[in-house]
Amino acid sequence: MSYRKATFAGGCFWGIEKVFLELDGVVSTQVGYTGGVTKNPVYNQVCSGRTGHAEAIEITYDPARVRYEDLLEVFFTHHDPTTLNRQGPDTGTQYRSAVFYHDLPQKEAVIKAKDVLDRAGVFKTKIVTEIQPVGEFYPAEEYHQKYLQKNPHGYCSIQLQSPRIKQALKESGPGETHE
């Protein structure tokens, strides 16, 4: 069986990377930039908000050990998908909530998860997470990679969301493993 990729944007990529690094079945992670128009952007350009890119994480995972739906649960649990272009004190389009799908089953899974969470009323307002096909992923500078592992007391705006997320997704029925 081959490994698969998943790409998410949920605020500062340092915190979201730390969460996924600790997940069983995740083989590797890489933080970077995607979803914009500037080719080969660097951090200062992305922070300007003029590139259209989001800070994102590209995850390589083993579908025999973790399902894509489980990755979505972790994603929705560890950031606020209801705030537009903001996570905690971090503001700007580079901090938007987005899922960049790699294939049709991933697209269907994220649409379903978003719909289930909205219908269950898990959040006070509707989810604004963008759902779009993955484009070019540009790895961030080396000092951003595994940042919180290298700097355990570094800044992180990750916010644990409601445990109702897990329950709502569980009640929606089992997902399929997408191989």
Could you give all domains of the chain from N- to C-terminal order, each with its CATH number? 4-171 (3.30.1060.10)
Q: How confident is the model at residue 155 (pLDDT cuts 50, 70, 90)?
A: confident
Report which of residues 152 and 68 the model is more confident about: 68
Residue 174 has pLDDT above 60, yes or no: no
**Per residue in 70-91, pLDDT tens?**
999 999 988 999 999 999 888 9
The rounded mean pLDDT for the chain is: 89
Catalytic one of 7, 10, 11, 12: 12
Mean pLDDT for the stretch of residues 112-124: 94
In the residue annotation, 156 being an active-site residue is answered as: no
How much is the average pLDDT of 17-46?
A: 96
- CA nearest to 155, candidates 42, 11, 37: 11
pTM of the model: 0.88
**Phi, psi at residue 97, to the nearest 5°?**
-90, 125
How many alpha carbons fall within 13 Å on the CB side of residue 166?
8
Percentage of residues of the chain with pLDDT beyond 90:
73
